[in-house]
Every structure is written in structure tokens, then in C-alpha cells.
């Protein structure tokens, strides 16, 4: 399940250094791969050791020690593990919490993901959990991806909760433990996130989209927490790495220590409306971006190029356009105060992209 939501053929071995530092293509994995291709060289150092140890119980105990769960009211928690690792870890973590009733869905470990892709970022993969929440009368629904480093939340009505709202909630809780702390958020998260961080006396640091950028800033700034629009949540108490389960515990604690339903609770953190990420297949992404900026130039209040281009149109309306690193795609995210304003900006930008992307006659 190391390949997260990707097909089973992509699963393999995930390498980390001490303190959960990732080993990726740019940090040693390419060298290791080439050495294997060339024929693994003999290692001249001291031989290492192999230890086989089941740490699941310790893992659960450690996560629970990081969140105050003493005031929880009884909660019915629907969990869709997507046949991934969440089915292995959820009983060990949530099953030991008094008052929590876990309502499992797809807990059987199966890397072929027979029920649906283990990618809760795609709304189609939340449908079963949404129905399960409503059918069982659950107070909350949790959906994990294949390796359970991401967690999506569904409220008691079966409505998905924005990862930005979850980021804001967890940030508020962590800042309650460390006043003045630093919180990382990527530039696609709602502007409600930095607003709330500032209101709670914290320092908000904006990041490019992607694991490596968030983790790098977590280490560089000593941030207590970081969140992404993709439902990756990073914790200093988890070695700067992401943990869907730890984020879930924070949401459960926030829900269980008061009497309001989750839909009401999360409304406190949902200040704006968002489009979600919209992808356009384009032949010339830079030309499309230029066309959008040129046409909208008279309305632009400010823009920056931290990751693609982020355009502020004023009055709470903004959008980001950025290209995919691996596909001929242009990605659009829009936020505004109302759904109507979001739809208006999406339509304008989409029409400009389509016009510029039309083949020449």
C-alpha cells in the first residue's frame, strides 16, 4: 500500500531516513535505483541488523497521547478504509477510545482496491461512505487513502467537509497548545486558514503545493502543523510527517467535547466557497495563462507567482492557475464569498482558456 491510491502494480518499498525524512528521487532514491540497475555494489561498512517488531499498539497509544480525548461524548464513527492500511490501523487507534463506536467499511486489506479507488480526493470515491453515514446514523465519516496518510471527513448529513476547514480546525487546536506557533498551509487552501491562524495569534506561512515543500518548511520553521487542500495534514509531533489518523483524532476531539453536530461545528471554519480543482487539457499552458491575465488585467488587484499564478480580484475573490509537472494540464482553483461568485469566475477563466486553446483554422 506504499503507492497510496495508485494501482497495486505501483506498490513496493517506501524508504525513509531517521526522523521520518523522506528518501525521494532528489534525495538519494535515484542513486539507489541506478546502483541496483548497475549491480548492487558491496558495502564496506559495518553490517546492519534487521529487527521484526509489531509497533501497531505503540503507534495507537502514541497518537492518542497527542490529543486530549478525556471529554469525548459517545460518537458513532463511520470509517471507509478503501481496503487500504486504514483498515489495519483504525481498530488499534479508535477501538481503544471509550465511547467511540467504529462503523467499518472496506477494512479488508486488498491492494487491488476492489470496491473503489483508495483516493478520497475524487468525490466518486466518497459516495459509499456518504451513504454509510446516513444509513447508520453516524456522527461523522472518515475516509482514508491507501496508505492512510490522508483523511477526508464527511459530516452527519453525508456532506463532505472541506480539507481547508479541517486544516483551520486543527490549526486552532494546535495553536491553543502553543500560542504564537507557526502553521504551514499551501496556497490552494482557503484564505480562511491564514485568517484564523492570525486571529489565534499564530504565524501563517504559505507554501507551494506538494509534500516536499510542506515538509521542508515544517523542518525549516519548526512549525507545529501544516495542511493542504488535498487532505494531507503534517504535525511536528509526528516528526513533521503527515498523518491522516492524527488529524482524525483532532476532529473527533473537537466534535466530542461539545454537543453540536459536525455540520454546525465546521461552519465556523468555512468562511468562503470554493470551486475545487478543475483541470483543463491544453496544448500551450503559458499562452493560456497569458490570455487570462491580459483579459482580466483591469480587474486584478494583485498577483504572485509562488506556484503558478495566484490572482486577487478583490472582495474575497481569487483564483490560482498552475501547470501540472507530469501532464499537459492547467489546474484552476477559485474561491469567493458566494457560490454564484465562484461560478462566475470559473466560467470567465474557463472560457478564456477554451478560446486560447482552440486550434488555428
> In which band, very low, low, confident or very high, does the pLDDT at 7 lie, cut at 50, 70 and 90?
low
Strands (DSSP E) contained in 166-224 are 182-186, 203-207
Q: What is the mean pLDDT of residues 29-46?
A: 81
Quickly state the pLDDT bin for 361 (edges 50, 70, 90).
very low
Least confident of 34-43, 78-87, 124-133: 34-43
Mean pLDDT of 319-335: 91
β-pair partners for 184: 205, 226
4 is catalytic: yes
pLDDT higher than 50, residue 360: no
For the chain, give the percent of residues with pLDDT over 70: 96
The H or E element spanning position 219 is: helix 211-221
Whole-number pLDDT of residue 72: 95
What gap in Å lies between CA 154 and CA 143, rounded to an integer?
Answer: 8
How far is the first Cα of the chain from the last one, in angstroms, to the nearest whole number? 48
Lowest average pLDDT, out of 21-35, 145-159, 275-289, 294-308, goes to: 21-35
39: left (phi over 0), alpha (psi -120 to 50) or beta: left
Give the pLDDT band (50/70/90) at residue 105: very high
Instruction: Return the bridge partners of 323, or none.
Output: 330
pLDDT of 313 higher than 90: yes
Q: Which of 7-11, 119-123, 172-176 has the lowest mean pLDDT?
A: 7-11
Q: Calculate mean pLDDT across residues 106-132.
A: 95
Residues in the chain: 361
Confidence band (pLDDT; 50, 70, 90) for 11? confident
142 closest CA partner among 216, 246, 46, 258:
246
Which among 4, 164, 207, 230 is annotated as catalytic? 4
Beta strands in 23-159 (DSSP E): 75-80, 100-105, 140-144, 151-154
Q: How confident is the prediction for the chain on average, in pLDDT?
A: 92
Task: Please give the pLDDT value at position 6.
Answer: 66
Residue percentage of the chain with pLDDT more than 90? 80
User: Does pLDDT of 262 surpass 90?
Assistant: yes
Q: Give the Cα separation of 22 and 11 in Å (integer).
A: 16
Report all structural domains of the chain as residue ranges with CATH numbers, in order of start: 1-39+54-271 (3.40.120.10), 273-357 (3.30.310.50)
Query: Residue 5: which pLDDT band, with cuts at 50, 70 and 90?
Result: low
Q: How many helices (H) and strands (E) does the chain have?
A: 11, 15
- Among 6-20, 156-170, 226-240, the minimum mean pLDDT is found in 6-20
Report if pTM > 0.85: yes
Amino acid at each position: 500500500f506504499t503507492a497510496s491510491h495508485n494501482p497495486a502494480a505501483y506498490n513496493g518499498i517506501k524508504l525513509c531516513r531517521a526522523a521520518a525524512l523522506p528518501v525521494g528521487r532528489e534525495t538519494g532514491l535515484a542513486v539507489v535505483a541506478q546502483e541496483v540497475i548497475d549491480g548492487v555494489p558491496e558495502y564496506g561498512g559495518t553490517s546492519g541488523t534487521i529487527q521484526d517488531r509489531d509497533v501497531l499498539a505503540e503507534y495507537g497509544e502514541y497518537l492518542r497521547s497527542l490529543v486530549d480525548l478525556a471529554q469525548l461524548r459517545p460518537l458513532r464513527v463511520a470509517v471507509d478504509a478503501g481496503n487500504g492500511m486504514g483498515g489495519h490501523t483504525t481498530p488499534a487507534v479508535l477501538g481503544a477510545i471509550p465511547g467511540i463506536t467504529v462503523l467499518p467499511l472496506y477494512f479488508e486489506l486488498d491492494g487491488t482496491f476492489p470496491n473503489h479507488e483508495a483516493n478520497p480526493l475524487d468525490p466518486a470515491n466518497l459516495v459509499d461512505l456518504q451513504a454509510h453515514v446516513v444509513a447508520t446514523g453516524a456522527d461523522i465519516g472518515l475516509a482514508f487513502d491507501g496508505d492512510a496518510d490522508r483523511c477526508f471527513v464527511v459530516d452527519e448529513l453525508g456532506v463532505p467537509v472541506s480539507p481547508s476547514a479541517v486544516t483551520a480546525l486543527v490549526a486552532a487546536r494546535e495553536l491553543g497548545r502553543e500560542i504564537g506557533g507557526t502553521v504551514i498551509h499551501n496556497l490552494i487552501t482557503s484564505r480562511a486558514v491564514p485568517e484564523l491562524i492570525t486571529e489565534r495569534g499564530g504565524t501563517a506561512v504559505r507554501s507551494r503545493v506538494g509534500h516536499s515543500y510542506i515538509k521542508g518548511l515544517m523542518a525549516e520553521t519548526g512549525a507545529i502543523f501544516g495542511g493542504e487542500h488535498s487532505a494531507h495534514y503534517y504535525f511536528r509531533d509526528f516528526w513533521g510527517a503527515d498523518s491522516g489518523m492524527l488529524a482524525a483524532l483532532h476532529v473527533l476531539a473537537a466534535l466530542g467535547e461539545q454537543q453540536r453536530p459536525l455540520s454546525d461545528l465546521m461552519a465556523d471554519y468555512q468562511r468562503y466557497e470554493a470551486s475545487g480543482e478543475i483541470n483543463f487539457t491544453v496544448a500551450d499552458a503559458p499562452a493560456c495563462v497569458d490570455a487570462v491575465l491580459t483579459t482580466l488585467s483591469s480587474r486584478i488587484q494583485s498577483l504572485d507567482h509562488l506556484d503558478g499564478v495566484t490572482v486577487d480580484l478583490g472582495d474575497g475573490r481569487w483564483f490560482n492557475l498552475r501547470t501540472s509537472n507530469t501532464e499537459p494540464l492547467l489546474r484552476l482553483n477559485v474561491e469567493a464569498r458566494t457560490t454564484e461568485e465562484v461560478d462566475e469566475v470559473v466560467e470567465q477563466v474557463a472560457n478564456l482558456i477554451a478560446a486560447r486553446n482552440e486550434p488555428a483554422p
